[in-house]
Structure 1
Amino acid sequence: MNHMASPSREHLQDMARGIGLRQVRIVTGAIMFAYLISHFLNHALGNISTQALAIGVYYHTEFWQFLPVAIVFYSACLVHTGLGIWALYQRREFHWKAIEPLQLTLGLSIPMLIVAHVVGVRLGQTLYGHEKLYPQELYTFFIAAPNRLWTMLAVLVIAWVHGCIGLYFWLRLRPFFQRAAPFLLATAVLIPTLAMLGIYQGGRATIADYQDADWRREELSVQKLGTAAQGTTLEKITDDLTIGYLGLLGLVLLARGARALLERRGGMIALSYGNGRTLRVPKGLSVLEASLRYNVPHASVCGGRARCSTCRIRIIGDHAGLPEPSPREAFVLHRVGNDDPSIRLACQLRPTADLNFFQLFLPSTTSANAHAANPARVGQERYLVSMFVDMRGSTQLAEKRLPFDTVFIVNRFLGAVSQAVLEAGGRPNQFIGDGMLALFGLATDRQVACRQALRAAALIATHIDELNQFLSHDLREPIRFGIGIHGGEVIVGDIGYRDHMVFTALGDAVNVAARLQDMTKALACEAIISDEVRVTAGLADDALPAQEVAIRGRNEPMTVRTVEKTQLLSTLVDDWRAVAA
């Protein structure tokens, strides 16, 4: 029992270490964005009628004012605002992207712009029992104080743009983002447009209703709008909150200035980059911030958020006096398998003494200012199925033929394999001599990717049989092949130098697939499939014979499935397709 519980505790500890301010910011921001979508869709009902607005706001308030939901929502608002103020203080450099200071500026302006609406509606209801809904608000915006309409529309646009930027930063490295981006963009434009049109149509209807004395008596009553004295009190609260908020921002800016002075008075330290360059920087800067401030190229794909490990550095000499890694830094380093205490993340390490180091990832292709405008090209972690296919006996083939004849046959072999991969939905990726790496799952989920790889293996056997028949007059022995298939998390991106970049996958799953392909020789079979692929594809446990094999570089043996004749997989593939139909 203790043995079974231990991995669970370790998993929970890893999850806890992976939670940082960014994760809290994402969760609280997602809650607020959900409220924003609900509110905007409610506004959009104004395009139908004022009755539709009234029905929509009833369900909107019933949900968001339900006590547990309200506690979560208002807590998220306070925490998210606090994190924005903390970011204003903490961030020393904004050179990564202009969109980052824009997002921060928009976010910090929202509380100041929305405080009058929150106090007038929510606090007015709590203190005095006011019932300010769409008729009362639209009367204020379109009749009593039209100048406030433009403030309200500005809040809508600013809040929406701020939320969409945050959503973009969160989703841009996700595998599905490229496919979903056009639909997300259309939604991001459509929702606020419909919301503002709904407000306009609701305002027109309110102006028409205002001509009716009975409507004015019912909707503009003291019970709903409150007395002049109550309005004065609410306005004073609004002014006090606005002044207090601006004062808080002013204090943060003063604190930034004071910190800069203290850092300079606290002394300077030397950062030696291991290439002969040394900087004198104030204490308190992270290594990456120092690189940005003094225009030293430094690889950083995620922009210093501890979401990647490309800014890693190796400390030269004694590292015992360095600050301990934060939980987030420790999580990232553990995730990439770095338990060496001399390796640190430059975006998280804030040295307090002179430091000698060198960068593990040279910034020749990815500088500190380079970002994931195309994340799939820069680097992206995702689940893929890797297939290695190798031609058997090519050395003997070359010994008995002219070089051009050998190249012709190898090209026909690789062409037949590539055609099978493409027909199955995969992507031929690298050609290594007479072998090939194919990737599955670049545009599908993991189950489909596993099934595509198995179907490709069956098609390879068919295509190679056809090739053997075509070349039968020229081949003493038919062309044989070996296939290794394994799935797992890999890094995909451009690898190479300058004009010689290729898109490929790197990771343990790719290495295992290559080693399984090598094992087909010793196990006298055409293909070896990892049990991970079999399970994910939904193949029955008794469909293929199992075997435990030792994989070089792994401590534990691995369960694999051997396929003596790859054409047998076609029957399994046909069974899946029949079930799906």
Structure 2
Amino acid sequence: MNHMASPSREHLQDMARGVGLRQVRLVSGAIMFAYLVSHFLNHALGNISVDAMMIGVHYHTMFWQFLPVAILFYGACLVHTALGIWALYQRREFRWKAIEPLQLALGLSIPMLIIAHIVGVRLGQALYGHEKLYPQELYTFFIASPNRLWTMLAVLVIAWVHGCIGLYFWLRMRAFFKRAAPLLLAAAVLIPTLAMLGIYQGGRATMSDWEDADWRKQELSVAKFGTAAQGKMLDSITDYLIYGYLGLLGLVLVARAGRALLERRGGMIALSYGNGRTLRVPRGLSVLEASLRYNVPHASVCGGRARCSTCRIRIIGDHAALPEPSPREAFVLHRVGSDDPSIRLACQLRPNADLTFFQLFLPHTMSANASADHPARVGQERYLVSMFVDMRGSTQLAEKRLPFDTVFIVNRFLGAVSQAVLEAGGRPNQFIGDGMLALFGLTTGREEACRQALRAAALIAANIDELNQFLSHDLREPIRFGIGIHGGEVIVGDIGYRDHMVFTALGDAVNVAARLQDMTKSLACEAVISDEVRALAGVAEDALPAQEVAIRGRNEPMLVRAVESTRGLSALVAERRAVAA
């Protein structure tokens, strides 16, 4: 029992280490965006009638004012606002992309624009029992104070654009984003458009109803609007809250200026990039912020949010005096298998003393004559199954043949392997000497990717049998091979330099697949596959022998399946399909 509980505890610990301010901001923002969508859809009912809006707001309020949901929602509002103010203070460099400071500015403007609405509706209800719903609000916007209508429409647009930018930053690295982008764009345009049209139609209906004396007596009563003294008190509260919020933003800007002054007085440090370039920067900047401030190219797919590891640097010399990695940085480094303390994330490391390092990933720099029709593909994080295939005995083969003969045989081997991978639905990716990396899952789900990889292993064996028969007159021994298969989250994208860019996958799962392929030598088998791939492919647990092996770079042993002959893997996958049918 303890043995089974340990991985669970470690998994929870890894999850806890992966939670940072960015993750809290995402969750709180997602809760607020869900409320915004609900509110906009309620507004859109105005295209039917004001009565439809009233029915919708009844269920909308019933859900969002349910005590646990209300606590979660208002907590998310406070946390998200506080994190926005903190981001204004913390961020030293705003030259990532124009869309990022725009998102921050829009987000910080929302509380100031919406305070009057919150005080008038929510606080008025809590303090005085006011019942301001759609008829009262539409009367205010279209008849009593038309200028407030434009403020409310502005805040709707600002809040929606702010939320959509946040969703874009969150989802753009997901595998499904490219396919879902047209639908998401359609929703991003239609929902606010229908909401504002609903407000307009509801306003027209209210202007017509206002001519009815009975309607005015019922909907504009003191019970719903309150007295003049109560309205004056709510207006005073609104003014104080707006002044207080503006004062808080002013204090943050003063604090930023004070911090900059202290940093200049605190001295400068030298950042040496390992290529002869050295910068003198204020103490307190992260390495990535320093690179951006002084226009030094530095790879960073996620924009400095510690969601990728492309900004990694290797420290040259003593790294003991550096600040300890934050839990989020430690999580990212552990996830990509970088437990070396000399490797750090440039976006998280804020050195206090001179530092010498070099970048592990060169930034994507296009040459002057590079074709604009083939831009570098930005990295995406997704689940793929990696397969390493290696030809055995190629060194001895080269010793006894002319170079061109050896190249011919190796090319026939790689051709046979590539044909099997393509036939199974995978993609040959990298050719490394007499070996190859193949990827599965670029266009399918993880279960199908695992089944494709197992079918490819069986097809490789069949193709190599045919190749051995074809070359039997020229080979003293038949060609043998080793295969390693493992699945996991990786970063896929273009890497390289200028016009020498290649599409590939980077991550711990790829490294593990390569090491499993190496194990086929010591285990005297044709393939070693991780138990995760076996389970996702739907192969029965007792179909293949299991054993725990130590993987270099991992603390815990890994459960794998040794396959003596890969020819039977296709039957196991077919059997699984027959059982499922």
TM-score when normalising by structure 1: 0.87
Segment of structure 1 superposing worse, 85-94 or 317-326? 317-326
Q: Provide the aligned length of Structure 1 versus Structure 2.
A: 574
CA RMSD of aligned residues (A): 3.4
Comparing 160-169 with 411-420, which one deviates more in the overlay?
Answer: 411-420
Partner of 1:186: 186
Mapped partners of 2:524, 2:261: distance in 1: 72
Which residue of the partner structure matches residue 543 of structure 1? 543
Give, as a single letter, the amino acid of the residue that structure 2 aligns with 1:541: E
Equivalent position SS for 2:81: helix
Give the Cα separation in 1 of the matches to 2:31 and 2:527: 48
CA deviations over 1:331-389 (Å, ceiling 9, x no partner): 3344444455444433333334x41311232544379xxxxxx9994434433212233
Name the CA shift for 1:557/1:63 in 2 (closer, same or farther; >3 Å).
closer
Q: 443-452 or 511-520, which moves further after superposition?
A: 511-520
Rounded to whole Å, the distance in 2 between the matches of 1:197 and 1:437 is 54
1:168 counterpart residue number: 168
1:145 aligns with 2:145: yes
Distance 2:566 2:351 in 1: 57
Partners of 2:327 and 2:117 in 1: CA distance:
39
Structure 1 gaps of 5+ residues are 368-373
Matched, 1:16 2:10: no
- Spell out, residue by residue over 1:102-129, the C-alpha distance to the aligned partner (whole angstroms, 9 max, x if none): 0000001101111111111111111111
**Paired position in structure 2 for 1:359:** 358
The answer to whether residue 560 in structure 2 is matched with residue 573 in structure 1 is no
- Tell me the distance in 2 between the aligned counterparts of 1:240 and 1:554: 57
Amino acid at match of 2:355: N
Are 2:351 and 1:348 aligned?
no
Distance 1:517 1:318 in 2: 35
* Deviates further, 402-411 or 178-187: 402-411
- Return the alpha-carbon distance in structure 2 between the equivalents of residues 523 and 270 of structure 1: 51
Instruction: Confirm or deny that 1:310 pairs with 2:306.
Output: no
Letter in 1 for 2:529: I
Equivalent-residue separation in structure 1 for 2:312 and 2:514 (angstroms): 28
Residue identity opposite 1:235 in structure 2: D
Matched, 1:155 2:155: yes
Q: Give yes or no for contact 2:365–2:498 (8 Å, CA) kept in 1.
A: no
Paired position in structure 2 for 1:118? 118
Question: Once structures 1 and 2 are overlaid, which stretch shifts more, 448-457 or 420-429?
Answer: 420-429
Aligned-residue offset at 1:225: 1.7
Give, in whole Å, the separation in 1 of the partners of 2:568 and 2:340: 47
Is 1:258 the counterpart of 2:258? The answer is: yes
**8 Å contact 1:63–1:69 — kept in the other structure?**
yes
Using a 3 Å threshold, how does the CA distance of structure 1 residues 462 and 202 change in structure 2: closer, same or farther? farther
Q: Could you report, residue by residue, the CA deviation over 1:204-254 in whole angstroms, capped at 9, with x for unpaired residues? A: 222232233322222222211222222222222222211221122122222
Kindly indicate whether the alpha-carbon contact (under 8 Å) linking 2:124 and 2:130 is maintained by their aligned counterparts in 1. yes
Residues of 1 paired with 2:279 and 2:516: CA distance?
A: 49
Is 1:239 the counterpart of 2:239? The answer is yes
Contact 1:315-1:355 within 8 A present in 2 as well: no
Identity of matched residues, %: 86
Alignment of 1:132-531 (within 5 A): 132-352=132-352, 354-361=353-360, 363-365=362-364, 377-390=377-390, 414-461=414-461, 481-517=481-517, 520=520, 525-531=525-531
1:532 aligns with 2:529: no
1:73 aligns with 2:81: no
- 1: distance between equivalents of 2:566 and 2:339? 41
- The separation in 1 between residues aligned to 2:10 and 2:477, in whole angstroms, is 54
CA shift digits 1:487-541 (9 cap, x unpaired): 2333333233322221122344334434544555666654443322112212112
Post-superposition Cα deviations, 1:414-465, rounded to whole Å, max 9, x if no partner, equal 4454343233322121234454321112233322211121222334445556
After TM superposition, give the deviation of residue 272 of structure 1 in Å: 3.7
Q: Are the counterparts in 2 of residues 274 and 358 from structure 1 also a CA contact under 8 Å? A: yes
Query: Quick check: 1:301–1:366 contact (8 Å CA) kept in 2?
Result: no
- Quote the residue 2:369 is aligned against: none
CA distance in 1, matches of 2:318, 2:481: 52
Q: In the aligned structure 2, how far is the partner of 1:259 from the partner of 1:126?
A: 41
C-alpha distance in 2, partners of 1:397/1:276?
A: 44
State the AA in 2 paired with 1:297: P
Call closer, same or farther: CA 1:553–1:544 in 2, change over 3 Å: same
Q: Which amino acid aligns with 2:192?
A: P
Deviation of 1:65 (Å) = 1.1
Counterpart residue number, 1:370: none
Describe the superposition over 1:526-558 as per-residue Cα deviations: whole angstroms up to 9, x where unpaired: 444332211221211222344566666667765
Secondary structure of the structure 1 residue equivalent to 2:271:
strand
- 8 Å CA contact 1:299–1:366 kept in 2: the answer is no
**TM-score, normalised with respect to structure 2:** 0.87
Residues 82 and 202 (structure 1), Cα distance of their counterparts in 2 relative to 1, 3 Å cut: same
Shift of 1:413: 5.1
The residue matched to 1:301 in structure 2 has which SS? coil
**Is the CA contact 1:29–1:80 (under 8 Å) kept in the aligned structure 2?**
yes
Structure 1 pair 299/409, CA: closer, same or farther in 2 (3 Å)? closer
Corresponding residue number in structure 2 for 1:63: 63
TM superposition shift of 1:27: 1.5
Aligned equivalents of 1:406, 1:515: Cα separation in 2: 25
Q: Which residue of the partner structure matches residue 371 of structure 1?
A: none
Amino acid at match of 1:234: L
Q: Residues 188 and 580 (structure 1 numbering): CA distance in 2 closer, same or farther, change over 3 Å? A: farther
